[in-house]
Amino acid sequence: MQLMNLYFNIKTIQFIGLLLFICCMPIKGISHTSQEHNISKVLNLKSIKTAVYTTAHHSDLKLTVTDSLKFQELKQPLETAASIIVDSSKEFQTFLGIGGALTDASAETFYKLSKSNQKRFLEAYYNQEKGIGYSLARTSIHSCDFSTSSYTYIDEGDSALATFSIEHDKKYRIPFIKKAIEAAGGKLTLYASPWSPPAFMKSNKSMLNGGKLLPEFYQSWANYYVKFIKSYEAEGIPVWGLTIQNEPLAVQRWESCIYTAEEERDFLKNYLGPTLQKEGLGSIKNIVWDHNRDLLFQRANVILNDPKAAKYAWGIGFHWYEDWKDGVPMYDAVKYVKEAYPDKNLIFTEGCNESYNLERIKNEDPKLAERYGKSMINDFNNGVVAWTDWNILLDETGGPNHVGNLCFSPVHGNTKTDEITFTNSYYYIGHFSKFIRPGAKKIASVSSSNALLTTAFKNTDGSLAIVVMNSSDKNLDYSLTLQSNSAYLKALPHSIQTILISNK
């Protein structure tokens, strides 16, 4: 019996040993190295191409290559040090594009420049190699404040739209848009926004100073969008999307129209959405709200909680002017909408620095460009798929604007001297648009320092574009960690960097 027990004990030990051996054997095709090591092999950090592009205030650095990276084995970052951690395996929204508005003011200023500067301007914005590679655009449906006068496409009182004509736009704006499309390589994602219906359709009988769209003209106004889209497309300009109303809660001294959330919801679900479908334009992307971040959630809540309205809404657009209240942008409002409505898209539809003052450009006031950098980084980190600047070009006065609402633009063209001024805002935007391309995926990028803001994307070719902004007055040394490897960099005071990493 003792011999039998000994025999079974030996066999049991052998069986357990065999199990342990089998469990420890490498399975064909699966490595037992860490996940980070596997990712590292995919990106091949030992044989990569890297470049650091820098723009810094009060320097000659304007999208200038200033460094390359040398990665080494990760050392635990210290609490006292600034660190940026990037994880390219954590993917979020798909990027649509970055661009600016092609307004009447921009078009008229463009055609007052010399032919050589027109070419230079178009390359600077739309050529990815020579410029910053814009891929997105917005324009207005008839006039806005950045037009030299108020106008519509019909005779006043023509609710049947029998007199509809875009002849006005053929002088400057349509040729300008066509040149932008050509400069962008033949494709530009364009959406349009109305500032006001014709005066006779409104409660105040004026295109200016607010007022409401009268219910008896809801269908006529919906038909107006259709006429606009088809007329532009007949000119060879595809229209990708619409915002229903620019700033629907702002009573402005220029073209404006007020919609409550319920009114915008009902106009979309009962008139605009069905009309577009009926006219074969169901692929047009409808964007609701198109106003500031502060009431973004309330507007989304009313419209998107109605299934009949929500089915016509591609997404929600917003501006950055809510800081007029206390000087503080409400970035988190974007995040809350994304969390509540993850199936809808968020798009930044307008932002500019107000109250034009040439001295602020000459003195390189960092607040002008950094407003762009802060907004773009926060908005992308909160789920935004596309970002649109306001006027792509303005003249030496910050116009033309028919009500004197003069503003800054990233580029100003002096119509008297034929000079073009590329402000730091242009270069800051370029740190995103030049390197983050349509189809890219937002990836995780987190800073351990409040002084450094960061966002990052993975392009369709596998390259990574990591943006880092330092809005402080100090030089900041920081580490960049990617796939258990670190590199060490320096951010100049009031600067922005794009770190581009790609396989050779």
Catalytic residue status for 216: no
Which residues partner with 213 through β-bridges? 202
For residues 337 and 296, what is the distance between their CA atoms, to the nearest angstrom? 7
Query: Which residue out of 108, 255, 264, 350 is catalytically annotated?
Result: 350
For residues 125 and 273, what is the distance between their CA atoms, to the nearest angstrom? 33
For residues 42 and 191, what is the distance between their CA atoms, to the nearest angstrom? 38
Query: Which residue out of 108, 247, 255, 370 is catalytically annotated?
Result: 247
For residues 394 and 397, what is the distance between their CA atoms, to the nearest angstrom? 8
Contacts within 8 Å (CB) and 24+ apart, 300-306: 300/337, 300/340, 300/341, 300/344, 301/261, 301/340, 302/261, 302/262, 302/265, 303/261, 303/264, 303/265, 303/268, 304/341, 304/344, 306/265, 306/269
- 8 A C-beta contact, residue 88 and residue 443: yes
CA terminus-to-terminus distance, the chain: 71
Residue 405 in tokens: 């609402």
Residue 100 in tokens: 């600016």
| Phi and psi, residue 300, nearest 5° | -60, -40
DSSP 153: S
For residues 162 and 152, what is the distance between their CA atoms, to the nearest angstrom? 13
The side-by-side arrangement of strands in the sheet containing 485-491 is 64-67, 48-56, 495-503, 464-470, 452-458, 441-447, 82-94, 476-482, 485-491, 72-73
CA distances from 83 to 14, 95, 450, 455, 456 (A): 51, 25, 10, 13, 14
3-state DSSP assignment of residue 428: helix
For residues 266 and 306, what is the distance between their CA atoms, to the nearest angstrom? 10
For residues 456 and 436, what is the distance between their CA atoms, to the nearest angstrom? 9
CA distances from 314 to 39, 136, 311 (A): 34, 16, 8
Catalytic residue status for 247: yes
Please report how the helices 332-340 and 296-304 are oriented relative to each other, as an axis angle in degrees rounded to 10: 20
For residues 69 and 288, what is the distance between their CA atoms, to the nearest angstrom? 43
Please report how the helices 366-381 and 424-433 are oriented relative to each other, as an axis angle in degrees rounded to 10: 20
Cβ atoms within 10 Å of 327's Cβ, excluding its own: 6
The DSSP annotation for 279-310 comes to: TT-TTSEEEEEEEEGGGHHHHHHHHHTSHHHH
Active-site annotation, residues: 247, 350
